Amino acid sequence: MGKIAFVFSGQGDQYPGMGKELAEKYPYAASVYEMCDSVRPGTSAQCFYGTEEELKETKNTQPCLFAVELAAASVLMEKGIKPHAAAGFSLGEVVAATVAGVFDNETGFRLVCRRGELMQREAEKFDTSMAAVVRLTREQLEELCGKYSNIYPVNFNCPGQITVSGLSAEMPDFFADVKAAGGRAIPLKVKGAFHSPFMNKAAGDFAQELEKVHIERPTVTLYSNMTAGQYADNAAELLSKQICNPVQWEGIIRGMIASGIDTFIEIGPGKTLTNMIKKIDTEVKAQTVTEYLAEVE
Are the CB atoms for 131 and 161 separated by under 8 Å? no
Catalytic residue among 9, 44, 195, 196: 195
Taking residues 36-65, what's their average pLDDT?
A: 96
Which pLDDT score is estimated for 190? Answer: 78
Residue 295 pLDDT greater than 90, yes or no: no
Taking residues 201-211, what's their average pLDDT?
A: 98
Are the CB atoms for 179 and 138 separated by under 8 Å? no
Q: List the domains of the chain with CATH numbers.
A: 3-124+196-296 (3.40.366.10), 128-187 (3.30.70.250)
Residue 188 pLDDT greater than 90, yes or no: no
Are the CB atoms for 154 and 130 separated by under 8 Å? yes
How far the first Cα of the chain sits from its last, in Å, is: 16
Residue 143 pLDDT greater than 70, yes or no: yes
Which pLDDT score is estimated for 1? Answer: 56
Which pLDDT score is estimated for 215? Answer: 97
Confidence of residue 66 (pLDDT cuts 50, 70, 90): very high
State pTM to two decimals.
Answer: 0.95
Which pLDDT score is estimated for 237? Answer: 97
**Burial category of 295 from C-beta neighbours within 10 Å (exposed 0-12, middle 13-18, buried 19 and up):** exposed
Alpha-carbon Rg of the chain, whole angstroms? 18
Which pLDDT score is estimated for 200? Answer: 98
Which neighbouring-strand residues pair with 8?
Answer: 88, 267
Catalytic residue among 9, 90, 165, 224: 90
The number of angstroms, rounded, from the C-alpha of 7 to the middle of its chain's C-alpha atoms is: 9
Taking residues 208-214, what's their average pLDDT?
A: 97
Residue 297 pLDDT greater than 80, yes or no: no
Which pLDDT score is estimated for 263? Answer: 97
Which pLDDT score is estimated for 161? Answer: 95
Which pLDDT score is estimated for 294? Answer: 87
Is 90 annotated in the active site? yes
Which pLDDT score is estimated for 189? Answer: 76
Taking residues 84-105, what's their average pLDDT?
A: 98
Between 7-11, 189-193, 251-255, the lowest mean confidence (pLDDT) is in 189-193
Which pLDDT score is estimated for 126? Answer: 93
Residue 31 pLDDT greater than 60, yes or no: yes
Q: What is the CA angle 136-140-143, rounded to 5?
A: 145
Confidence of residue 138 (pLDDT cuts 50, 70, 90): very high
pLDDT in tens, 160-175: 999 999 999 999 999 9
Which pLDDT score is estimated for 155? Answer: 96
Among candidates 26, 12, 57, 62, which has minimal Cα distance to 289?
26
How many Cβ atoms are within 10 Å of 38's Cβ, its own excluded? Answer: 11
pLDDT in tens, 221-259: 999 999 999 999 999 999 999 999 999 999 999 999 999
Are the CB atoms for 108 and 70 separated by under 8 Å? yes
- Residues 287 and 72: their CA atoms lie apart, in Å, by 14
CA torsion 115→5→13→134, rounded to 10°?
Answer: 110
Are the CB atoms for 104 and 25 separated by under 8 Å? no
Which pLDDT score is estimated for 12? Answer: 86
- Residues 53 and 105: their CA atoms lie apart, in Å, by 27
Q: What mean pLDDT, rounded, does the chain reach?
A: 96
Is 195 annotated in the active site? yes
CA torsion 85→131→68→108, rounded to 10°?
Answer: 60
Which pLDDT score is estimated for 52? Answer: 93
- One-letter amino acid identity for 97? A
* % of the chain residues with pLDDT over 70: 100
